[in-house]
A and B are shown apart, each in its own frame.
Chain A
Amino acid sequence: AQKITQTQPGMFVQEKEAVTLDCTYDTSDQSYGLFWYKQPSSGEMIFLIYQGSYDEQNATEGRYSLNFQKARKSANLVISASQLGDSAMYFCAMREGLEGAQKLVFGQGTRLTINP
């Protein structure tokens, strides 16, 4: 069974608008972590934001926020005031357990295109 599901293969958004990228996950662990990464055309995976399963507040990092709904097992990424440089692939990932080496499982990704 797929552990991370990203249902939007592609998204097109007008510059300066907010955008929500969907992510649902599947785990029976109580302790886990959720990550979002951005991959521009250069190939490097850039860490954006993290949410721990015990964190009660939604994580925020600048223009990025994570809408964490534990009961629904969803961890959507919200980008406010989108910019042209936000055009990239975005990956949701999960780590089961909170110790030791970080074996992240990734979703299929969403290709986000920001239009001027």
Chain B
Amino acid sequence: ETGVTQTPRHLVMGMTNKKSLKCEQHLGHNAMYWYKQSAKKPLELMFVYSLEERVENNSVPSRFSPECPNSSHLFLHLHTLQPEDSALYLCASSQDPGGDYTGELFFGEGSRLTVL
């Protein structure tokens, strides 16, 4: 299995829908992340979970709601989104750096979201 798996890969939703993005990591890491990638903008860090506790919430609108039920799974619940929320949503995981390990993020392939 690949290290970080995201589903669905593509999602189209209306502004009144409720949907969820799922991320699963098979690397035994202790931190997971959601990033948003919009056209012509740098990746934006949305949420960070370390040991299943949220440690970062970068002023993300409440229509995005993360959930981390265990160290291997991360969800992003979506409701009443706006067209400007259309983007590639990337999940990543990492382990605390130490020794020879640099703590780099391992990313999934992303979920391409289109809001109509």
**Which residues in A have some Cβ–Cβ distance to B below 8 Å?**
4, 33, 35, 37, 42-47, 50, 52, 91, 93, 95, 98-109
Residues of the B chain whose Cβ atoms lie less than 8 Å from the Cβ of A93: 43
Q: Give 19 new A-B contacts, CB below 8 A, not counting A102-B103, A106-B42.
A: A42-B109, A43-B88, A43-B110, A44-B107, A44-B109, A44-B110, A45-B105, A45-B107, A46-B107, A47-B104, A50-B102, A50-B104, A98-B97, A98-B103, A101-B50, A103-B48, A108-B40, A108-B41, A109-B42
**Is B102 within 8 A of A45, CB to CB?**
no
Given A101-B55, A102-B97, A103-B45, CB of A47 within 8 Å of CB of B50: no
CA distance A37 to B110 in the complex (A): 15
B94: contacting residue among A46, A91, A101, CB under 8 A: A101
**Is A104 within 8 A of B45, CB to CB?**
yes
CA distance A99 to B45 in the complex (A): 18
- B106 CB-CB contact with A under 8 Å: yes
Which of A4, A45, A106 lies at the interface centre, i.e. has the most chain B CB atoms within 10 A of its CB?
A45
* In the A-B complex, the 6 residue pairs with the closest CB atoms: A45-B107, A101-B50, A50-B102, A106-B43, A43-B110, A101-B31
Residues of the A chain whose Cβ atoms lie less than 8 Å from the Cβ of B110: 43-44
**Is B109 within 8 A of A43, CB to CB?**
yes
Residues of the B chain whose Cβ atoms lie less than 8 Å from the Cβ of A4: 42
Residues of the A chain whose Cβ atoms lie less than 8 Å from the Cβ of B31: 101-102
